[in-house]
């Protein structure tokens, strides 16, 4: 028995209506969504940290989510895990005619254009009406906002809706920041929120023009903040103090110390 079949059998037993696990039996497609998203992010974190052992474990957790969804679908007569594997195998072959066929792409641009046209054809085959079909179709609405913004901008840029150079993008960031300051002066919270959204969207555009993945950049920024903040906590603990007992000036001084110390590779 392969490990894949073993996993499928375990999931079938967990979902057995009489002898299965009550928690597993309560789950459906919608209830599993938060777990599926969480596992995908944990895979990303392990991959970015280069932790092979952790990555193997997290990939297993993500695979469990695929098996779980497929089992529920099989119980409802919709599809099986085998159908899922077969569909993605067919898609990979269809989208790589230069590997599995005789097609030759002279440039990455040609290859990418074929990839996008293939995806558009697949959307049409799914029964999208002319009204539903759009240049922006196929971008999942529940993606993380930074990821979605980047995908929307890339899709529009392929059809010429983009700044030809980076200078105007910097100008747009400054313009949106000015509009946010003007909104703040009105104390209109809905307008402030709207302007924050516009500013974040154009910052993602700036990242795209700089060939930086905005989501990865922010995750790295988050990790940097956590590392530096924990340094502050450690230094305060060594002094017998807590965050609550420290002034902002003291915390700022330790933050600057953390920046210097950690950038020099010193973790003490």
Write out pLDDT tens, residues 141-168: 778 889 899 999 988 998 889 999 999 9
Tell me the two tokens of residue 102: 């005789």
Question: 204: part of which helix (H) or strand (E)?
Answer: helix 189-209
HEC letters along 160-200:
CCCCCCCHHHHHHHHHHHHHHHHHHHHCCHHHHHHHHHHHH
3-state helix, strand, coil in the chain (%, to 5): 70, 0, 30
Mean pLDDT calculated for residue range 163-176: 95
Tell me the two tokens of residue 247: 């002034």
Cα–Cα distance, 173 to 200 (Å, whole number): 9
Cα–Cα distance, 87 to 36 (Å, whole number): 20
More confident residue, 155 or 21: 21
In the chain, % of residues over pLDDT 90: 69
Asked if pLDDT for residue 99 goes beyond 80, the answer is yes
Residue-wise pLDDT for 202-211, tens only, equals 999 999 999 9
Residue-wise pLDDT for 116-131, tens only, equals 788 777 777 776 544 4
pLDDT attached to residue 268: 38
Residue-wise pLDDT for 45-64, tens only, equals 899 889 999 999 999 999 99
260-268 own/partner pairs: CB under 8 Å, 24+ apart: 261/231, 262/227, 262/228, 262/231
Please give the model's pTM, rounded to 2 decimal places: 0.64
pLDDT attached to residue 131: 44
Q: Which of 30-34, 64-68, 93-97, 145-149 is predicted most confidently?
A: 64-68
């Amino acid at each position: 028995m392969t490990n894949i079949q073993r996993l499928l059998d375990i999931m079938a037993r967990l979902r057995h209506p009489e002898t299965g696990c009550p928690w597993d039996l309560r789950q459906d497609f919608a209830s599993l969504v938060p777990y599926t998203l969480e596992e995908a992010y944990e895979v990303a974190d392990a991959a970015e940290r280069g932790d092979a052992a952790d990555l193997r474990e997290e990939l297993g957790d993500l695979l469990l989510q695929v098996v779980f969804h497929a089992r529920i679908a099989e119980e409802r007569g919709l599809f099986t895990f085998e159908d899922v594997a077969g569909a993605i195998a067919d898609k990979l072959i269809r989208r790589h005619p230069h590997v599995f066929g005789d097609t030759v792409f002279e440039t990455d641009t040609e290859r990418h254009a074929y990839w996008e046209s293939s995806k558009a054809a697949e959307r049409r085959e799914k029964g999208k009406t002319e009204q539903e079909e759009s240049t922006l179709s196929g971008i999942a609405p529940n993606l993380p906002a930074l990821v979605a913004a980047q995908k929307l901008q890339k899709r529009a840029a392929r059809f010429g809706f983009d700044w030809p150079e980076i200078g105007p993008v910097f100008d747009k960031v400054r313009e949106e920041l000015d509009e946010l300051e003007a909104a703040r002066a009105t104390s209109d919270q809905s307008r402030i929120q709207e302007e924050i959204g516009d500013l974040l969207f154009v910052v993602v555009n700036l990242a795209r023009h700089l060939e930086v993945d905005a989501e990865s950049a922010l995750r790295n920024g988050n990790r940097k903040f956590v590392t530096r903040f924990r340094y502050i906590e450690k230094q305060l603990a060594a002094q017998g103090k807590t965050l609550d007992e420290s002034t902002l000036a003291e915390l700022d001084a330790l933050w600057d110390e953390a920046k210097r110390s950690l950038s020099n590779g010193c973790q003490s």
